[in-house]
């Protein structure tokens, strides 16, 4: 902690004369909170072109301070965003009023990530303003598409976890379910990816540089968050022993509200993101003494907490910052709901009737001891009654099967940063292990396996165990994943509490990822079955009868061709990449991780190229194919970055070799994000979902591709299992080992070198890489990748290679018959309505949350 950071008093509060904000919101008449969303209602501008133009020009003049004739594109974009906000504000305030009056049970979605995508298009769609805005701006001589492209996407997530959270809060608003999304307003978010000589280089994602018109800061709502210090035992006036946390320093959490509009239903839920600030940001005496840097040291220290999404944690400082982030946002969120969303005299024994906090993976699990601390130390609850409330207020979603992805925090770090919480965790573990020993007497090995505290390799807190002990329900995110979660990841817990485990297969919002991202296909679907599918995706089943309708197939292909042309134009402008016409567009876009097996796709491409070079296959016999990669590697993940480098070097060689010109190409646009996904996914012909079976929790990219008419090549992993079952084997390209076969091969001892020796295609492809063909003759440049494949191959790329190549041959055969391919694509769309995030939300509501939509 900086020397001039705000110290706390022995009671853990900031002295009144130094507090930069009031600790809590002032209460209105009759104890009703004067919530910022419960102010006097405002009127939306008239829902007409003239009304829109008047509101837009008013925003441009009064908010941006410019006349139309002197306005920049950014001025116009900010004015447009402000205008759309006006249309949503009345709905937002009315939603808040009704929710508070009804005292409705709310979903508190706790997530360290929200990968929102651009907000303008979604807001226009949800408020039915697209046509009005386009016509209104046209009267002003402005192109709506130009202003759409001005928006900078907030990079507040890393991948599927963050995008799922965004889909879920969209669905809850559309389904009229009260929800508050809680997270962190990262100043920089996920890094902006660039390539230098084929290597990934991370640059800050300055998404706030030109302003963020979609957020509402409320510094008067700031929450104080404490860290460090020690605990003291005291006796209260009733003679009961109590514990007081005496923290050493604190920061402020400033809420920024975002509107989450439901689709055409008038509901607008809040997304509340927290930004860290110092409680004592500036020391005038130090400044006047000339030490200008030291004068603002506390501010810099505090703001680091919300500076960057997932700071590099290979150092002790990075680990501590991550834990600070996690506690910071859940402490703010719990305090916000208890102090600001409930009545002043609310009995917290009834808290589970008003809130269910969904833990989106292990990042927010420190909320469990935080709620216990609030109830016991601040509200006087005894342990048993505090635990009863806490247990009923939390549910936990596990998003992984990889042991290294299940967070474990050092007891030394947690005790230093959050000493009271460590004491509470020890207490939770003590009570829990007593239950384990009572149920399984004499089985100390089981007790050791299940303990929240691990002793090896170092003493730490297993956050997944804590979440499972605390949660009323624990769910996986696909049928296979939930089964493996019960059977392999948490088997002792499922034996103790089988009723606690359930499955909710993930979904995606059809509003953003079909209607908005794929307007041509959306029009084709709506012309055939009406518009009701947008909020009832199961209605896509009605398209099955059109799979044999020639006119529909033609329209479907025309939509795909339009999407390919749109993508070609975008990539040429954005990245200088030209996509050839008439190619099979083969797409693999996802986080770069070895278990996702981008190396398998790359080896296939290298094998095709090698066969042409060696004369085994004539280039003219190759099915024209463009392979598109999109992936970011975590900054500290060296192997993933080496794989990116290899992909880019292979791409450079193949794309400049005349012998495969017009037949084989690789495109790897940098900085893959939601905005690019909305153009790339609708254009794809083939979706690569090729993780090792038993490794992928669910995948939601696979759902987006299938819903947009791409066929899938994939293993029986994650949600692929359910996609294949729904669309039919004839419309899905299955390859590779099943999860039991993977487990059996691993148990018997997997030797990738044997596959390298036995399979000539594998050997030729890897040897070509090792020859320096893609590295200007440097034979050792990619040893890290090839040695890993031939000597370790943790994710069994070589074991599945031949099956994958065989599947690709079937793909090429089917693609040659465009009518058959299009029919299969139509059936993929028709049969994947199950994968709506609306259906996921219904499953959560029915099986876990027990909330009700508001009428």
**N residues, the chain:** 855
Q: What are phi and psi of 276, to 5 degrees?
A: -90, 135
* CA 77 centroid distance within chain: 26
Nearest CA to 302 out of 328, 283, 273 is that of 328
245-256 in b/e burial notation, b at 16+ Cβ within 10 A?
bbbbbbbbbbbb
- Nearest Cα residue to 834 out of 510, 461, 615: 510
Active site residue 704: yes
Cis bond upstream, residue 457 (ω within 30): yes
How far apart are alpha carbons 223 and 25 in whole angstroms?
A: 10
The catalytically annotated residue of 192, 473, 596, 597 is 596
Active site residue 653: no
Quick check: is 700 catalytic? Answer: yes
Residue of 118, 591, 601, 604 marked catalytic: 591
SS3 letters for 151-166? CCCCCCCCCHHHHHHH
3-state secondary structure 553-591: HHHHHHHHHHHHHHHHHHHHHHHCCCCCCCCEEEEEECC
Number of neighbouring beta carbons within 10 Å of residue 61 = 14
Q: Would you call 590 a catalytic residue per the annotation?
A: yes
85 flagged as catalytic = no
596 as an active site residue: the answer is yes
Residue 541: DSSP 8-state: G
CA–CA separation, 202 vs 188, rounded Å? Answer: 12
Task: Identify whether the C-beta of residue 704 lies closer than 8 Å to the C-beta of residue 681.
Answer: yes
**Contact of 794 with 594, CB cutoff 8 Å:** yes
Q: What are the C-alpha distances in Å from 451 to residues 322, 391, 429, 473?
A: 23, 17, 7, 19
Integer Cα distance of 463 and 36 in angstroms: 35
Q: Catalytic residue, from 83, 106, 174, 700: name it.
A: 700
435: tokens are 């239950």
Q: How wide is the angle at C-alpha 25 spanned by C-alphas 327 and 83, nearest 5°?
A: 90
What is the Cα–Cα distance from 678 to 574, expressed in whole angstroms?
14
At 362, is the secondary structure helix, strand, or coil? Answer: coil
Find how far residue 482's CA is from the centre of its chain: 19
* Of 462, 512, 645, 704, catalytic: 704
Angle made by CA atoms 238, 242, 244, in degrees to the nearest 5: 135
Q: Which of 85, 118, 399, 465 is catalytic?
A: 399
Q: Which of 297, 560, 590, 645 is catalytic?
A: 590
Q: How far is CA 368 from the centre of its chain?
A: 22
Judge residue 231's burial from the number of C-beta atoms within 10 Å of its C-beta, 0-12 exposed, 13-18 middle, 19 or more buried: middle
Q: State how far the alpha carbon of 93 is from the alpha carbons of 42, 85, 87, 269, 278, in Å.
A: 8, 12, 11, 10, 30
Give the Cα separation of 447 and 455 in Å (integer). Answer: 13
454 DSSP β-pair partners = 460
Please tell me the distance from the alpha carbon of residue 855 to that of residue 837, in angstroms, as a whole number: 20
Q: Which of 508, 566, 550 is nearest to 698 (CA)?
A: 508
Cβ distance 365 to 311 under 8 Å?
no
Q: Where are the alpha helices (DSSP H) in 375-489?
A: 383-393, 411-417, 419-439, 444-450, 463-470, 479-484
Q: How far apart are CA 42 and CA 288, in angstroms?
A: 46
Kindly list the catalytic residues.
Answer: 399, 590-591, 596, 700, 704
């Amino acid at each position: 902690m900086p020397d001039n950071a705000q110290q706390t008093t022995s009671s853990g509060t900031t002295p009144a004369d130094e507090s930069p904000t009031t600790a809590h919101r002032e209460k209105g008449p009759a104890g009703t909170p004067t919530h910022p969303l419960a102010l006097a209602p405002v009127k939306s501008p008239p829902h007409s072109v003239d009304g829109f133009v008047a509101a837009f020009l008013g925003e441009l003049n009064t908010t941006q301070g410019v006349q139309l004739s002197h306005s920049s594109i950014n001025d116009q974009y900010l004015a447009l965003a402000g205008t759309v906000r006006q249309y949503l504000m009345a709905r937002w305030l009315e939603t808040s009023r009704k929710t508070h009056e009804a005292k409705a049970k709310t979903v508190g979605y706790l997530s360290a990530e929200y990968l929102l995508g651009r907000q303008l298009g979604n807001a226009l769609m949800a408020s039915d303003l697209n046509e009005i805005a386009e016509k209104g701006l046209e009267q002003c001589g402005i192109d709506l598409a130009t202003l759409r492209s001005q928006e900078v996407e907030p990079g507040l997530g890393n991948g599927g976890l963050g995008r799922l959270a965004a889909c879920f809060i969209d669905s809850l608003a559309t389904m009229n379910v009260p929800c508050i999304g809680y997270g962190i307003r990262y100043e920089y978010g996920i890094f902006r990816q660039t390539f230098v000589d084929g290597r990934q280089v991370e640059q800050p994602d300055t998404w706030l540089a030109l302003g963020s018109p979609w957020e509402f800061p409320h510094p008067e709502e700031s929450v104080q968050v404490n860290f460090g210090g020690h605990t003291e035992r005291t006796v209260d006036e009733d003679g009961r022993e109590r514990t007081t946390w005496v923290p050493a320093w604190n920061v402020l959490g400033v809420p920024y509200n975002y509107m989450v509009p439901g689709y055409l239903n008038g509901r607008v839920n809040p997304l509340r993101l927290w930004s860290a600030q110092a409680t004592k940001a500036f020391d005038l005496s130090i400044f006047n003494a000339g030490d200008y840097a030291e004068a603002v040291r506390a501010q810099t220290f505090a703001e680091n907490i919300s500076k960057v999404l997932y700071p590099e944690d290979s150092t002790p400082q990075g680990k501590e910052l991550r834990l600070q982030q996690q506690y910071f946002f859940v402490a703010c969120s719990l305090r916000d709901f208890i102090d600001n969303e409930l009545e002043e005299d609310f009995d917290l024994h009834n808290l589970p009737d008003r809130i269910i906090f969904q833990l989106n993976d292990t990042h927010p699990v420190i909320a469990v001891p935080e709620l216990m601390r609030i109830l016991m130390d601040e509200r006087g609850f005894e342990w048993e009654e505090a635990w009863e409330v806490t247990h009923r207020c939390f549910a936990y979603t596990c998003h992984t099967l990889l042991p290294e992805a299940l967070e474990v925090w050092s007891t030394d770090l947690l005790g230093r940063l959050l000493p009271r919480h460590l004491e509470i965790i020890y207490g939770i573990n003590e009570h829990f292990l007593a239950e384990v020993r009572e149920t399984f007497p004499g089985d100390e090995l089981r007790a050791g396996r299940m303990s929240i505290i691990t002793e090896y390799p170092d003493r730490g807190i297993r956050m997944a165990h804590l979440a499972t002990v605390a949660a009323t329900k624990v769910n996986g995110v696909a049928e296979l994943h939930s089964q493996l979660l019960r059977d392999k990841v948490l088997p002792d817990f499922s034996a103790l509490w089988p009723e606690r485990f359930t499955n909710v297969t993930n979904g995606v919002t059809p509003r953003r990822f079909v209607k908005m991202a794929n307007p041509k296909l959306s029009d084709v679907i709506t012309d055939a079955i009406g518009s009701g599918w947008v909020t009832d995706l199961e209605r896509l089943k009605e398209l099955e009868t059109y799979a044999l309708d020639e006119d529909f197939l033609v329209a479907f292909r025309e939509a795909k061709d339009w999407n390919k042309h749109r993508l070609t134009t975008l990539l040429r402008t954005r990245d200088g990449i030209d996509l050839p016409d008439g190619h099979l567009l083969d797409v693999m876009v996802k986080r770069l991780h070895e278990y996702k097996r981008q190396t398998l796709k790359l080896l296939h491409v290298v094998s095709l190229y090698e066969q042409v070079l060696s004369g085994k296959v004539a280039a003219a016999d190759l099915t024209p194919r463009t392979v598109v990669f999109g992936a970011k590697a975590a900054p500290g993940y060296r192997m993933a970055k080496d794989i990116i480098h290899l992909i880019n070097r292979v791409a450079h060689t193949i794309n400049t070799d005349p012998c495969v010109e017009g037949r084989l190409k690789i495109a790897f646009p940098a900085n893959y994000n939601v905005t690019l996904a909305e153009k790339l996914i609708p254009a794809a012909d083939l979706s690569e979902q090729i993780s090792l079976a038993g490794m992928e929790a669910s995948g939601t990219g696979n759902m987006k591709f299938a819903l947009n008419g791409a066929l899938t090549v994939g293993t029986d992993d994650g949600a692929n299992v359910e996609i294949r079952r729904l669309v039919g084997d004839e419309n899905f390209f299955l390859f590779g080992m099943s999860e039991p076969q993977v487990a059996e091969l691993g148990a018997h001892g997997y030797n990738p070198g044997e596959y390298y020796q036995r399979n000539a295609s594998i050997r030729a492809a890897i040897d070509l890489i090792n020859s320096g063909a893609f590295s200007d003759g440097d034979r050792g440049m990619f040893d890290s990748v090839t040695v890993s494949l031939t000597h370790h191959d943790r994710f069994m790329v070589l074991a599945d290679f031949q099956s994958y190549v065989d599947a690709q041959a079937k793909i090429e055969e089917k693609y040659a018959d465009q009518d058959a391919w299009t029919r299969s694509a139509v059936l993929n769309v028709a049969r994947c309505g199950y994968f709506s995030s609306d259906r996921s939300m219904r499953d959560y509501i029915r099986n876990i949350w027990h909330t009700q939509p508001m009428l």
